[in-house]
Amino acid sequence: MKSAPAKLKAAPSRRSPYIGVTKEGIKILRPKGRVDNITLAEARKAVAAVRAQNLAAARD
Amino acid sequence: MNATDVFINCPFSADYKERFWAIAYTVIRSGFEPRCALEADNSGENRYGKICRIIKECRYGVHDISYTGLYGEAAQDADFPLPRFNMPFELGLFLGAQSYGGPKQTAKTTLILDTKPYRFQKFLSDIAGHDPRVYGGDATSLIEQVAAWLRVEGRRAEIPGGEVIAADFAAFMAIFPDVCRAAKLNPDNITFFDFKRFAAAADLS
């Protein structure tokens, strides 16, 4: 009798060393240390919020 | 040794802070990773060991030796004035690692900066033969030197000119206090770690 096939383990997803690319095509590295996607997302959110606020103030 | 890591050897004093952020920003904006003794917060690791570990991991080194002078305050320091030796010491460690650290470490490359030409010959004559770059003592001229060096030594033609990075840095520093506050952080006590993630995030926005 054939034994049940072993359950395939999902390959661990490898985190990219880059967090994005600038308009010049420069790959921005993920800063070393305890920087996960959440802390990076928070940083991007904070920058975007301030820029949007300044843009709105400039329009007024 | 990491081919993208740049060791920053400069003063961490308040009067140099803008230039320190300028170097770190230029390194990030050029696609490299800034490293320095401020990055780790492990009280169990001694400072010398930490510096050696970081130097070993970095292929590139930016060394500003312009603050090799007498510092302190006479009112607060009985031994005033005393010279500041940390920058020449860490430059020596970096060059030593390149000379004696084994085959991989020989690939290290160094940028030495000062604010006056040929001055190093008086206080650090042992590095004669090296060619320190001179900048104007301000963030903009410092950025121009670091960006040009990374473009050449890193073989990265896509790195924009120093003027472009300096303009981006000025724009980033203008919003930086508000960015810190939006992230519930005090801009006056921001860590190197937080500066890096904000600068990286700003470059992609």
Helices B86-100 and B47-57, packing angle to 10 deg: 50
Residue to substitute from A29, A39, A42, A44, interface B, most B β-carbons within 10 A: A29
Q: Above 70 in pLDDT, residue A1? A: no
pTM equals 0.88
CB contact under 8 A, B183 and A43: yes
Nearest chain A residue to B198 by CA distance is: A43
Instruction: Classify residue A22: in a domain, yes or no.
Output: no
Instruction: Classify residue B127: in a domain, yes or no.
Output: yes
Instruction: Classify residue B180: in a domain, yes or no.
Output: no
CB contact under 8 A, A43 and B35: no
Instruction: Classify residue A17: in a domain, yes or no.
Output: no
CB contact under 8 A, B197 and A43: yes
Sequence-distant (6+) residues with CB within 8 A of B200 are A19, A28, A29, A30, A31, A40, A43, B28
Instruction: Classify residue A5: in a domain, yes or no.
Output: no
Mean pLDDT of B183-187: 89
Q: Which of A33-37, B47-51, B142-146, B175-179 has the highest mean pLDDT?
A: B142-146
| First-last CA distance in chain A | 78
Number of structural domains (chain B) is 1
Chain A: give the shortest CA distance to residue B179, in Å: 5
A48: domain range?
32-60
Within an 8 Å CB–CB cutoff, is residue B81 touching chain A?
A: no
Within an 8 Å CB–CB cutoff, is residue B82 touching chain A?
A: no
Instruction: Classify residue A60: in a domain, yes or no.
Output: yes
pLDDT in tens, A13-35: 777 888 889 988 999 998 887 76
Q: Above 80 in pLDDT, residue B115? A: yes
CB contact under 8 A, A51 and B205: yes
Residue B81: cis peptide before it, omega within 30 degrees of 0: yes
Instruction: Classify residue A55: in a domain, yes or no.
Output: yes
Within an 8 Å CB–CB cutoff, is residue A21 touching chain B?
A: yes
Number of structural domains (chain A) is 1
Please list every residue in chain A whose beta carbon sits closer than 8 Å to the beta carbon of residue B151. Answer: none
B104: domain range?
2-162
What is the average pLDDT score of chain B? 90
Please list every residue in chain A whose beta carbon sits closer than 8 Å to the beta carbon of residue B196. Answer: 31, 33, 35
Query: Can you give the CATH number for the domain in which B60 is found?
Result: 3.40.50.10140
Q: Above 90 in pLDDT, residue B89? A: yes
Instruction: Classify residue A52: in a domain, yes or no.
Output: yes
